[in-house]
């Protein structure tokens, strides 16, 4: 199959095993329709890229899917479970976790403590369990702490374990946020511009980490304005324009599609 054969108008539907499915998703702010009947499927095990010009509705789509915005219409399914309009923690329970373009620095926490926010369904979250299942709570805390340190070492940021999260650079916080997201063991991870504002060396390191976690079974859907980065990492690429899915296909086919070029103000996509 050639790259030309692998591009379609709108999003490809009917994937064999979609971990995330969006049907007819709509959201308007005032008189501005930001997402307009978006249909999207993300195949389990893929690294899917989401691109589009500024104002295309990419971050809004992420906010709708992950529960930070409530849609005006349409539906969202994670692992065939409808999560439309649910709170972010409930969407995370269903298997979908996201990061943010500007990482959130947790006030008053060290990096190690921030990492421990990640694991889901901890017994110690219940005050009652602290008294009735103290041994289990302590065992879970030890296991989570060990996992947190192993994860920090894996992402090459263990040296910052005792550093207040507010003292990290933007690039260091990108690594911490990615590491913290993996602590939840999601089925699908949404990455919002993971290399925005970072140097090329760190961008390459992040690319390697994203490939590694994908190889281990985490499906990835990412937004990125760095065309060279996303075209090298993701397949398929979905193009959003004016709140709708314009095309979906292989990177080379998307890069040269006239409709995509026109959407980017009539100029070629930067590499």
How far apart CA 118 and CA 182 sit, in angstroms, is 8
Backbone angles phi, psi at 135, to 5 degrees: -65, -40
Q: Residue 161's pLDDT is what?
A: 94
Rg for the chain (alpha carbons), in Å?
19
How sure is the predictor about 123, in pLDDT bands with cuts at 50, 70 and 90? Answer: very low
CATH number 3.40.50.11260 is the correct assignment for the domain at 4-105+169-263: no
How far apart CA 139 and CA 245 sit, in angstroms, is 47
Residue 125 has pLDDT above 50, yes or no: no
How far apart CA 20 and CA 15 sit, in angstroms, is 10
How far apart CA 126 and CA 138 sit, in angstroms, is 13
How far apart CA 76 and CA 4 sit, in angstroms, is 30
Residue 238 has pLDDT above 70, yes or no: yes
Q: Residue 137's pLDDT is what?
A: 60
How far apart CA 265 and CA 6 sit, in angstroms, is 24
Global pTM value:
0.86
- How high does pLDDT run on average in the chain? 87
What would the mean pLDDT of 233-241 be, rounded to a whole number?
A: 96
Q: Residue 264's pLDDT is what?
A: 80
Secondary structure letter of residue 102 according to DSSP: S
Backbone angles phi, psi at 140, to 5 degrees: -65, -40
Q: Residue 262's pLDDT is what?
A: 87
How sure is the predictor about 135, in pLDDT bands with cuts at 50, 70 and 90? Answer: low
Residue 118 has pLDDT above 70, yes or no: no
Query: Could you tell me which residue, 95 or 265, shows the higher pLDDT?
Result: 95
Residue 112 CA neighbour count, 13 Å, CB half: 15
Are 83 and 90 contacting, i.e. CB atoms less than 8 angstroms apart? yes
Break the chain into its structural domains and give their ranges.
4-105+169-263, 106-167
How sure is the predictor about 9, in pLDDT bands with cuts at 50, 70 and 90? Answer: confident
Q: Residue 126's pLDDT is what?
A: 41
What would the mean pLDDT of 10-17 be, rounded to a whole number?
A: 76
What would the mean pLDDT of 182-200 be, rounded to a whole number?
A: 93
């Amino acid at each position: 199959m050639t790259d030309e054969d692998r591009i379609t108008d709108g999003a490809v539907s009917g994937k064999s095993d979609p971990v995330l499915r969006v049907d007819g998703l709509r959201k308007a702010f005032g008189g501005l329709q930001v997402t307009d009947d978006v249909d999207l499927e993300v195949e389990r095990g893929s690294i899917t890229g989401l691109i589009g010009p500024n104002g295309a509705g990419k971050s809004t789509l992420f906010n709708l899917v992950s529960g930070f915005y409530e849609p005006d219409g349409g539906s969202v399914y994670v692992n065939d479970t409808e999560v439309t309009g649910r709170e972010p923690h409930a969407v995370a329970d269903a298997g979908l976790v996201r990061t943010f373009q500007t990482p959130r620095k947790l006030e008053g926490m060290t990096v190690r403590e921030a990492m421990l926010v990640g694991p889901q369904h901890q017994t110690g979250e219940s005050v009652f369990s602290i008294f009735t299942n103290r041994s289990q709570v302590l065992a879970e805390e030890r296991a989570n702490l060990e996992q947190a340190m192993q994860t920090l070492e894996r992402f090459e940021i263990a040296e910052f374990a005792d550093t207040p999260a507010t003292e990290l650079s933007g690039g260091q916080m990108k690594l911490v946020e990615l590491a913290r997201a993996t602590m939840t063991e999601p089925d699908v991870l949404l990455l919002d511009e993971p290399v925005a504002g970072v140097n090329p060396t760190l961008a390459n390191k992040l690319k390697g980490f994203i490939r590694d976690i994908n190889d281990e079974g985490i499906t990835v859907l990412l937004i990125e304005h760095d065309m060279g980065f996303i075209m090298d990492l993701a397949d398929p690429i979905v193009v959003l324009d004016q709140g709708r899915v314009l095309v979906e296909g292989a990177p080379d086919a998307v890069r040269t599609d006239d409709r995509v070029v026109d959407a980017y103000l009539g100029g070629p996509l930067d590499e």
